[in-house]
């Protein structure tokens, strides 16, 4: 199961998806698959499924950029993945 939690102006992205997750899939593969299933994620993920500038994406409370090539089984041990999407703005 994947729980997507959007915060702030991205709260409209909040969803719960019942997907069978391959535990050997990398985080990159999971995010690419989610992009296909949820086209609205195209606004916050680049073509290779990395977050765009101004967006922080946490997977089970870990920055996705740090675990991009990790296998899902190392991150979602109980088969559940919580994705938190946070808009980040910088004052100048």
For 6-49, write each residue's pLDDT tens digit.
Answer: 998 899 989 898 888 888 999 999 999 999 989 999 999 999 99
Query: Domain 2-87, what architecture?
Result: Roll (3.10)
Q: Tokens for 62?
A: 């870990």
Alpha-carbon separation of residue 64 from 3, 38, 39, 77, 91 (angstroms): 15, 18, 19, 16, 24
- Please say if the pLDDT value at position 91 is more than 60: no
If you search the block for the tokens 């109980």, which residue do you land on?
Answer: 78
The predicted structure's pLDDT at residue 80: 87
The domain segmentation of the chain, as residue ranges, is: 2-87
């Amino acid at each position: 199961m994947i729980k997507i939690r959007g915060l702030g102006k991205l709260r409209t992205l909040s969803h719960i998806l019942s997907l069978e997750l391959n535990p050997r899939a990398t985080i990159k593969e999971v995010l690419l698959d989610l992009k296909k299933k949820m086209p609205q994620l195209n606004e916050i993920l680049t073509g290779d499924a990395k977050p765009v500038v101004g967006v922080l994406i946490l997977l089970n409370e870990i920055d996705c950029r740090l675990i991009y090539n990790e296998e899902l089984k190392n991150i979602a041990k109980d088969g559940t993945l919580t994705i938190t999407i946070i808009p980040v703005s910088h004052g100048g």
